[in-house]
Structures are given as C-alpha cells and as structure tokens.
C-alpha cells in the first residue's frame, strides 16, 4: 500500500492506495499532519511507501520521522515523468503542476489536455497529444479574490464564497459575489475557448478544492474530478517505479 500526501498552500490531502484503488482519503490542516499520518498507519498496517508532493511550507523532517516505518519519497524535478518538459524555466515549474501533467498524460493518452486546478491559485497546464508539456497560466483563486478586495480597499467586507443571486449585484455584497464568481467563470471559459482554437482532439480536466462549485457554471464540457491530483500522485509514483 502507498500513502500519498499532497501539501498545498492551504490544506493537505492524504490518500491510501492499493495499486490504483483508492482506499481512503483525508483533508486536513498542516498542524494535524503528524497525528493523521500516525492514525493512517495504525489503520493500514501494510503501508510500505510514503509519497509526498509539496508546494507548501511543511518541513521534510516531519515526513522523515516516519523513515523507520516507511520508505519516504519526495516527488522532485529529477524524477522520471511521462512527458517532455518544454517549460522555458523547467526547474521553476511547481511539483503540483508536474504531477497533474503526469496524470493527464498517463490517463488520457494521445490527446491534447488542459488541466485546470482550482485551489488557492488557478493553474492552467497544457500537455499536447505528443506528451509535450508546453506551459499554461497562473491566476488568483476564488478565496484570494475575495481576500484581495477586502485587504486592498478600506471598506469592502471579507465575504465567504457564495453563488451570486443575480448577475447584476443589487448590494455591495452581491456585487462582490457577482464580480468574483462570474469573472473567474468567464476567465476559465475564455482560456478553454482559446486552447480549443489552437488544438483539436481536446480534453479539459478540472480539479482542486473548488471543482464542484465551478464545474456546473462552465459552459464548456469538462472532466471534473476533485481528486485528480492525489490520484495522479499515485500514478506518477507507479510510473517512477517502472521507469527508474
């Protein structure tokens, strides 16, 4: 069994896999990391590997403390990946984006793929049908948009995510909801339309914490899977084992 851990900017996702079968998953905050790993290992005693992909600021020593029980592997740029990295600065490409590209290449062969990860940031990653990773885009996620309106103005309130009641906001709160949510939806549909103009034989994969909220609002047909990154992490590690 393999325990995979995705350390994001805000939260941590953990999942236990046996082969390609997802047995259990958890989402928690960073201060709960050690306790949750200990609980998982008590429940799944046959776990042999701990695979970590991190863009957050959790120290490696926290994971290395389990070295006596597990083989610990940190996904890095030096691992084998099932795509050709054409990024101009490949060493700066986030590990999370590389794992997503890996999952897209492995799961949807011989297609052009656009992976959209809707989390703290929105990342767009394009992998062509010849398994070339060409790049993408990064923009603020929903929460960052709400927070920036509050932080960089003197009077706008900090709101929780909410579906706009109307396209035309009839109050300050409704105007913020309409602006934040609709602007992001139009952005995402615009990106998708532009990629579609560039390529045919195309699939769009939407993942991340805001997947469910956003999926039903997009006009484009997408493959929505909020667990795509954690599943891709398992697939990427299996690929490494077979290609080292």
- How many residues are present in the chain? 244
Give 26-48 as a 3 state SS string: EEECHHHHHHHHHHHHHHCCCCC
Nearest to 144 by CA among 180, 104, 194: 180
Instruction: Describe the strand order of the beta sheet including 112-118 as a list of residue ranges.
Output: 84-85, 132-140, 121-127, 112-118, 202-207, 223-224
d(CA 238, CA 19) in angstroms, rounded, equals 8
Strands (E), the chain: 2-7, 12-18, 21-28, 49-54, 71-74, 84-85, 112-118, 121-127, 132-140, 202-207, 223-224
d(CA 236, CA 14) in angstroms, rounded, equals 15
Q: Which residues are catalytic?
A: 96
| Burial track 14-28 (b if 16+ CB lie within 10 A, e otherwise) | bbbbeeeeebeeebe
């Amino acid at each position: 069994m393999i325990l995979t851990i995705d350390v994001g900017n805000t939260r941590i996702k953990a999942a236990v896999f046996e082969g390609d079968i997802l047995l259990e998953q958890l989402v928690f905050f960073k201060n709960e990391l050690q306790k949750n790993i200990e609980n998982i290992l008590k429940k799944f005693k046959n776990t042999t590997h701990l695979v970590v992909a991190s863009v957050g600021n959790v120290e490696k020593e926290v994971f290395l403390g389990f070295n006596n029980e597990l083989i610990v592997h940190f996904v890095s740029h030096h691992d084998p990946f099932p795509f050709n990295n054409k990024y101009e600065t490949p060493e700066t490409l986030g590990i999370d984006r590389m794992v997503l590209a890996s999952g897209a290449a492995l799961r949807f062969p011989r297609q052009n793929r656009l992976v959209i990860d809707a989390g703290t940031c929105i990342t767009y990653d394009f992998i062509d049908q010849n398994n070339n990773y060409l790049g993408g885009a990064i923009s603020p996620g929903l929460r960052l948009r709400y927070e920036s309106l509050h932080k960089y103005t003197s009077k706008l309130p900090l709101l929780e995510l909410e579906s706009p009641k109307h396209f035309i906001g009839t109050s300050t709160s409704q105007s913020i909801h309409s602006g934040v949510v609709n602007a992001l939806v139009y952005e995402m549909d615009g990106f998708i339309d532009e990629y579609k103009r560039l390529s045919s034989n195309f699939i769009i994969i939407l993942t991340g914490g805001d997947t469910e909220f956003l999926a039903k609002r997009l006009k484009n047909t997408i493959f929505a899977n909020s667990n795509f990154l954690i599943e891709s992490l398992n697939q990427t590690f299996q690929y490494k084992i077979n290609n080292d």
